[in-house]
Amino acid sequence: MDLTIGPNAFFWPRETVRAFYRDLAAAPFARLVIGEWVCSKRLPFWDQEIPQAVETLQAAGKEVAISSLALITLPRERRQTAALFETGLPVEIADLSALRHMPNSYPFWVGPTVNVYNEGTLDWLASRGARRICLPVELPLASISVLARAGAERGVAVEVWGHGKAPLALSARCYHARLHDRAKDACLFVCGEDPHGRDVSTLEGRSFLTVNGIQTLGQAVTTVAGQIERLRSAGVSSLRLSPQPGDFPALVAAYAAAGPDLLGQVQGLLPGQLIANGFAEGQAGLALQKG
């Protein structure tokens, strides 16, 4: 298995974005998805960094695709989506409505927010020209094995969520704005105050979720560090690593090496953060949390 770096879910300053992709270029991964994934209002603050990042990454031998929004609702968002197909880059579909804007025979990938739960859906996407599919985070190993085998038969690379706060849900409303008693259209980009999302606890004080604008994430960082060999045996093509603050190139290097103490390395690089094995074992993620 090789590594795919997913689109950044969080709202970082332009300088942070620039440094992130510059420093990441030398890391051992095969491909990367760039672009605004969560909120179209954020894009004007950093979109000028995309061309330079793409140039830097391609010069380093990385394959680069650009992501659509995971929730396309407004006319300007539809226009932005259509413009993605004018870049010449592969487009990763994070919302199926993006296919409406896709020219015939345009290369596209499918992100983890599209519900690819069975072979029929995979077949349909393959028939439309999908080249890569990142499966939803909630699938157990048994389902992953079936879909990885189906992808191999149809020439579609199948990847799984390998690292990062799991994307669980999206809403037309903005949780960050609501927490600060602001309307979504007058949010003042308060999500930028939480570079790894805003953690939420239950009334009993137990760790629960993370909110990131309109997106709900798992509070724990999901990792498949304990399932590497089984995923490889199942025929999974790639692991997807989701950007986060900290020494992300070191995390990429750890997953690329996939040593026997990978889980320990991941925990060491994320001091104080909850770590979860996620859904791969077919159990509740909370029961498998470590940290």
pLDDT tens-digit readout, 72-124? 999 999 999 999 999 999 999 999 999 999 998 898 999 999 999 999 999 99
Residue ranges covered by each domain of the chain: 2-163+222-261
**Phi, psi dihedrals of residue 31, rounded to the nearest 5°:** -155, 165
Is the model's pLDDT at 287 over the cut of 70? no
pLDDT at site 291: 43
Distance CA 254, CA 291 (A): 18
Q: Per-residue DSSP letters for 232-249?
A: HHTT--EEEE---SS-HH
Give the range among 59-68, 233-242, 264-273 with minimum mean pLDDT. 264-273
**How far is it, in rounded angstroms, from Cα 130 to Cα 124?**
9
Please list, in sequence order, all residues whose beta carbon lies within 8 angstroms of the beta carbon of residue 228, skipping any fewer than 6 positions away: 1, 258, 262
Cβ–Cβ under 8 Å, residues 81 and 103: no
Please tell me the predicted confidence (pLDDT) of residue 138.
93
Q: What is the mean pLDDT of residues 237-248?
A: 97
At 143-165, the pLDDT tens digits run 999 999 999 999 999 999 999 99
**Whole-prediction pTM value?**
0.95
- Residue position matching structure tokens 């799984």: 160
Least confidently predicted of 63-72, 227-236, 280-289: 280-289
Q: Side-chain half-sphere of 140: how many Cα atoms within 13 Å?
A: 6
CATH architecture of residue range(s) 2-163+222-261:
Alpha-Beta Barrel (3.20)
- Amino acid making up residue 31: R
CA quadruple 58, 49, 91, 158: dihedral sign: positive
Given pLDDT bands bounded at 50, 70 and 90, which one contains residue 180? confident
Query: What sign results for the dihedral spanned by CA atoms 261, 266, 272, 274?
Result: negative
Q: What is the mean pLDDT of residues 30-57?
A: 96
Is there a contact between 188 and 198 (Cβ–Cβ < 8 Å)? no
Instruction: Judge whether residue 185 has pLDDT over 90.
Output: no
**Residue 54 main-chain phi, psi, to 5 deg:** -60, -45
